[in-house]
Amino acid sequence: MSLRSRIPADFRSAPERAVRSGYPSHDEVVAHAAHAIQGGSSSFAAAARLFDEDTRESTLMLYAWCRHCDDVIDGQSLGRDDEEGGAAARAAGIARLTELEAETRRACAGDPSDDPVFVGLAEVVQRHQVEAELPLEHLAGFRMDVEQVHYQSLADTLLYCYRVAGVVGLMMARVMGAWDRATLDRACDLGIAFQLTNIARDIVPDAEIGRIYLPADWLLAAGIPSSEIAKARHRDALAALAGRLVETAEPYYSSAVSGIADLPLRAAWSVATARDVYRAIGRHVKAKGSHAWDSRVTTSRFEKLWFAARGAGVALAARAVPKTQRAHFLYKRPG
Does residue 104 register a pLDDT over 50? yes
Does residue 15 register a pLDDT over 80? no
Q: If you average pLDDT over residues 199-209, what whole number do you get?
A: 96
Q: Are residues 277 and 303 in the same domain?
A: yes
What pLDDT, on the 0 to 100 scale, is given for residue 212? 97
In a domain, 144, yes or no: no
First to last CA, the chain: 34
The CATH number for 290's domain is 1.10.600.10
What pLDDT, on the 0 to 100 scale, is given for residue 52? 85
Q: Are residues 59 and 98 in the same domain?
A: yes
Does residue 244 register a pLDDT over 90? yes
Q: Are residues 248 and 212 in the same domain?
A: yes
Mean pLDDT of the chain: 85
Does residue 230 register a pLDDT over 80? yes
In a domain, 139, yes or no: no
Q: Are residues 80 and 201 in the same domain?
A: no
Give the Cβ contact number of residue 6 at 10 Å. 11
How many whole angstroms separate alpha carbon 65 and alpha carbon 138? 11
In a domain, 137, yes or no: no
Q: If you average pLDDT over residues 142-166, what whole number do you get?
A: 96
> Of 84-93, 208-217, 252-261, which has the strongest mean pLDDT?
208-217
Q: If you average pLDDT over residues 309-333, what whole number do you get?
A: 78
CA neighbor of 26 nearest in space, from 1, 9, 4: 4
Examine the fold and report which residue of 76, 98, 131 is the final residue of a domain before the chain moves on.
131
Q: If you average pLDDT over residues 173-196, what whole number do you get?
A: 94
What pLDDT, on the 0 to 100 scale, is given for residue 327? 59
In a domain, 16, yes or no: yes
Does residue 147 register a pLDDT over 50? yes
In a domain, 84, yes or no: yes
What pLDDT, on the 0 to 100 scale, is given for residue 19? 35
Q: Are residues 199 and 317 in the same domain?
A: yes
Q: Are residues 127 and 70 in the same domain?
A: yes
What pLDDT, on the 0 to 100 scale, is given for residue 234? 97
In a domain, 174, yes or no: yes
Q: If you average pLDDT over residues 38-56, what whole number do you get?
A: 72
Q: Are residues 239 and 303 in the same domain?
A: yes
Query: Tens digit of pLDDT for each residue in 270-300?
Result: 999 999 999 999 999 999 999 999 999 999 9
Q: What percent of the chain stands above pLDDT 90?
A: 64
In a domain, 46, yes or no: yes
Does residue 75 register a pLDDT over 70? no
Does residue 242 register a pLDDT over 50? yes
What pLDDT, on the 0 to 100 scale, is given for residue 325? 61
Residue 61: exposure state from Cβ atoms within 10 A (0-12, 13-18, ≥19): buried
Does residue 227 register a pLDDT over 50? yes
Q: Are residues 114 and 258 in the same domain?
A: no
Domain count, the chain: 2
Q: Are residues 154 and 127 in the same domain?
A: no
Query: Tens digit of pLDDT for each residue in 257-266?
Result: 888 988 999 9
Range of the domain at 257: 149-335
Q: Are residues 124 and 153 in the same domain?
A: no
In a domain, 100, yes or no: yes
Q: Are residues 188 and 250 in the same domain?
A: yes
Q: Are residues 221 and 331 in the same domain?
A: yes
197-234 residues labelled b (16+ CB within 10 A) or e (exposed): bbbbbbbbebbeeebbbbbeebbeeeebeeeebbeeeb
Q: If you average pLDDT over residues 111-124, what whole number do you get?
A: 93
Examine the fold and report which residue of 81, 97, 131 is the final residue of a domain before the chain moves on.
131
3 state DSSP class of 76: coil
Residue 11 pLDDT level (bands cut at 50, 70, 90): very low
Q: Which residues contact 82 (CB under 8 A, 6 or more apart)?
A: none
Residue 45 pLDDT level (bands cut at 50, 70, 90): low
Q: If you average pLDDT over residues 37-50, what whole number do you get?
A: 66
Examine the fold and report which residue of 100, 131, 162 is the final residue of a domain before the chain moves on.
131
